[in-house]
């Protein structure tokens, strides 16, 4: 079989006509399908019914330390929740503050705090002429939206199969004191599913930042979100790596149970050094009296311990695995031999990252939308929504039921083919 690039103009014209006819047929179906966001499916959420039986009218609402979780207090979170979230990150409870329902909110507030108050006594970033963040891309659109809202200049860092291009990271961080942060999703990265390699983590830990208030924003959103039991990639624990490298305060780590229990009704946490946490505490003690301790207690009593949480995630994997496998097999069958796209093959996380021919991503997403299939906006995975190659598309297969996912993928591959033919005919 010929790849599209090997075809003659006439062959492409004929193919185009054929694809257009199919596309018109698809549009006529009035589909309404969504592969845009990394939402758990309702099947994943259904499994949580027991979660609501953790308390009843005879419950003790006391934490391990005897605190009544129904009343005010315990700004850093109850001890057993700090332990559980610490286990998720592979760090001691003392290095954890448990917050509310959203790790994104913790990240936002962490950037905001640095803007207004500085970092452990440094000049507030809003008083500086220029603040820059490194943005491994493609990456998570909501990260980039935070730094954009605060007027922080974002620098694209290409992603490799081992994580961000470390030569570039070192060049920027070690030489430019305006570089104050880097966004990282180190495990099953959004959108590629990349797990940062040991070497990448070690090079990160051994950075020699020009700015003393440089921090790694380590969004460990998919720490335990494996698809396969026997094919999990280990991520080195970054906080101890940094400590060993003489950079004990260089990381903020974020995690949550948003995709373990419930998006919006889970528990989120910050992991960091004692010095960083003491500083954060000194600021947030004015912001709030405390977070939702009943929800913290509910989570701990439900899972009992980290093993309980890991077992629970095996059930999620059983639901998600067939969806990811369907994406990969459909892509392979339909366009594997056509030379019009490549994609990642993640073993965890929530996404597959698709690389179209340069200049085709926007067109593919628009065509899908017209045919009733919503994808993450083209460009969303890059700072300022600007994909320099107009090539990356994030596929989020978790939410739709598998039949709908199959239908959406049919539309997707058709639009990839059609947009690719159009692009090749332009040349």
Chain contacts with a second copy (rule: CB under 8 A): 37, 39-40, 42, 45, 48-50, 52-53, 55-59, 61, 68-73, 100-102, 104-105, 108-109, 112, 115-117, 126, 142, 145-146, 149-150, 262-265, 283, 286-295
Which of 172/298 has CB closer to a second copy? 298
Closest CA to 324 of 351, 304, 299: 351
CB nearer a second copy, residue 59 or residue 337: 59
SS3 category, 405: helix
Between 68 and 199, CB nearer to a second copy: 68
- Report the nearest approach of a second copy to the CB of residue 364 (Å): 25
CB-nearer residue toward a second copy: 98 or 194? 98
> Beta-strand (E) ranges in 297-363?
341-343, 352-356
Distance, first Cα to last Cα, the chain: 22
295 φ/ψ sector (left φ>0, alpha ψ -120 to 50, else beta): alpha
Which residue lies nearer to a second copy by CB, 27 or 142?
142
Bond from prior residue into 138 cis (ω within 30 degrees of 0)? yes
Pick the closer one to a second copy by CB: 4 or 125.
Answer: 125
Residues pairing with 355 in the sheet: 342, 392
Least separation in angstroms between residue 134's CB and a second copy is: 19
What is d(CA 400, CA 188) in angstroms, rounded to the nearest whole number? 20
The CB-of-412 to a second copy minimum distance in angstroms stands at 22
Smallest gap from residue 42 Cβ to a second copy (A): 6
Q: Which two tokens stand for residue 348?
A: 């965890």
Task: Count the residues in the chain.
Answer: 427
CB of residue 100 to a second copy, shortest distance in Å: 5
Best CA proximity match to 404, nearest among 41, 38, 34, 42: 34
Least separation in angstroms between residue 162's CB and a second copy is 30
Residue closer to a second copy, measured from CB, 46 or 167: 46
Smallest gap from Cβ 71 to a second copy, in A, equals 5
Q: Please give the Cα distance from 211 to 181 (Å, whole number).
A: 9
Name the residue nearer to a second copy (CB basis): 150 or 306.
Answer: 150
- β-bridge pairing 96-98 and 268-271: antiparallel
Task: Find the shortest distance in angstroms from Cβ 158 to a second copy.
Answer: 25
Q: In terms of CB distance, is 205 or 313 closer to a second copy?
A: 313
Structural tokens at position 286: 């004015």
Which residue, among 144, 67, 123, 7, has the nearest Cα to 300 in the 3D structure?
67
How many angstroms separate the CA atoms of 63 and 222, rounded?
Answer: 27
Nearest distance from C-beta of residue 169 to a second copy, angstroms: 25
Backbone φ and ψ for 103, nearest 5 degrees, come out as -70, -30
**Distance from C-alpha of 270 to C-alpha of 291, rounded to nearest angstrom:** 13
Distance in angstroms (rounded) separating the CA atoms of residues 385 and 283:
32
Question: From the CB of 133, what's the least distance to a second copy, in Å?
Answer: 14
Phi, psi of 112 (to 5 degrees): -60, -45
Nearer to a second copy, 101 or 353 (CB): 101
Q: Look at the block and give the residue holding tokens 């950075």.
A: 207
How far is it, in rounded angstroms, from Cα 134 to Cα 218? 12
């Amino acid at each position: 079989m010929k790849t599209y690039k090997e075809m003659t103009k006439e062959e492409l014209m004929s193919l185009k006509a054929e694809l257009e006819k199919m596309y018109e047929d698809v549009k006529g179906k009035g589909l309404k399908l969504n592969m845009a966001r990394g939402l758990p499916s309702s099947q994943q959420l259904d499994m949580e019914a027991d979660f609501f039986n953790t308390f009843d009218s005879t419950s003790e609402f006391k934490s391990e330390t005897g605190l009544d979780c129904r009343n005010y207090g315990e700004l850093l979170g109850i001890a057993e929740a700090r332990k559980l979230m610490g286990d998720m990150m592979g760090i001691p409870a003392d290095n954890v503050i448990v917050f509310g329902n959203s790790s994104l909110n913790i990240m936002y507030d962490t950037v905001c705090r640095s803007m207004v108050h500085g970092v452990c006594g440094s000049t507030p970033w809003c008083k500086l002429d220029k603040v820059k963040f490194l943005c491994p891309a493609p990456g998570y659109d909501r990260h980039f939206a935070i730094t954009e809202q605060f007027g922080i200049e974002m620098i694209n860092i290409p992603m490799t199969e081992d994580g961000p291009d470390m030569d570039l990271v070192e060049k920027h961080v070690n030489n430019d004191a305006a570089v104050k942060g880097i966004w990282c999703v180190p495990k099953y990265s959004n959108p590629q599913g990349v797990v940062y390699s040991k070497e990448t983590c070690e090079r990160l830990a051994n950075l020699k930042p020009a700015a003393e208030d440089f921090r790694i924003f380590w969004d460990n959103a998919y720490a335990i979100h494996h698809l396969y039991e026997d094919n999990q990639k280990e991520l080195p624990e970054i906080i101890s790596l940094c400590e060993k490298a003489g950079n004990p305060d260089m990381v903020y780590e974020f995690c949550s149970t948003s995709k373990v229990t419930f998006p919006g009704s889970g528990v989120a946490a910050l992991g960091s050094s004692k010095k960083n946490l003491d500083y954060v505490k000194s600021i947030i003690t004015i912001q709030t009296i405390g977070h939702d301790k009943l929800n913290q207690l509910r989570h701990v009593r439900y899972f009992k311990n980290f093993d309980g949480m890991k077992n629970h995630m095996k059930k999620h994997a059983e639901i998600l695995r067939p969806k990811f496998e369907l994406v990969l097999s459909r892509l392979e069958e339909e366009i594997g031999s056509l030379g019009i796209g490549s994609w990642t093959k993640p073993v965890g996380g929530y996404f597959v990252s698709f690389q179209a021919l340069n200049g085709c991503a926007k067109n593919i997403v628009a065509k899908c939308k017209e045919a009733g299939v919503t994808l993450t906006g083209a460009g969303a995975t890059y700072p300022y929504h600007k994909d320099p190659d107009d090539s990356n598309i994030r596929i989020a297969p978790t939410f739709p039921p598998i039949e709908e996912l199959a239908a959406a993928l049919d539309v997707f591959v058709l639009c990839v083919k059609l947009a690719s033919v159009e692009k090749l005919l332009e040349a």
